Structure 1
Amino acid sequence: MNWQALAEHLFGADHGIHTDGDFLSGTALLDGESITVVGSTNHASIGIALALKQARVILDTMAQHPGRAILLLVDTQGQQLRRRDELLGIN
């Protein structure tokens, strides 16, 4: 997924979405309302580290901005198949 093109198409060039490796997060305006955007890119496999980053953004949004819409953009190949992830409940 070309997340930059998608974000620009949905929100215009001045959105506040950025990446940290395969992790997407930020804010954007939709119909004049601020929304939180979180997700993954680069056809990432979802392991515990990426899942926890996404969960942190969602929990912070719920605590700091109750009622704010959250958009999940996901480009994934599925879960990361590692024993550590399985033991931590990502299965």
Structure 2
Amino acid sequence: MSQPSKSRITVDIYGVQYTIIGTESTRHIRQVASIVDEKMREINAMNPSLDTSKLAVLTAINAVNDLIKLQERVEQLEKEIKE
């Protein structure tokens, strides 16, 4: 069984260069990086005294919170469809 081809792309997130390797398209990886960068800048604007580590953790918490809300909404919609 063949492995999916991997993309290697360098992105800038909050002023730091990261090399991301994954099976998603480069467009997708750039989009993810852009959203993370945008969210970090948004949180930093509200909390400018946060160090980068705390800012990254808050960004991750926000992202997972959004994910859970979306998963719950999908489950709700699937339930409504079945009814």
Q: Under TM normalisation by the shorter chain, which class is it?
A: 0.3 to 0.5
Bigger strand fraction: 1
- Higher relative CO (Cα under 8 Å, sequence separation at least 6) belongs to 1
Bigger helix fraction: 2
Bigger CA radius of gyration = 2
* TM-score normalised over the length of structure 2: 0.36
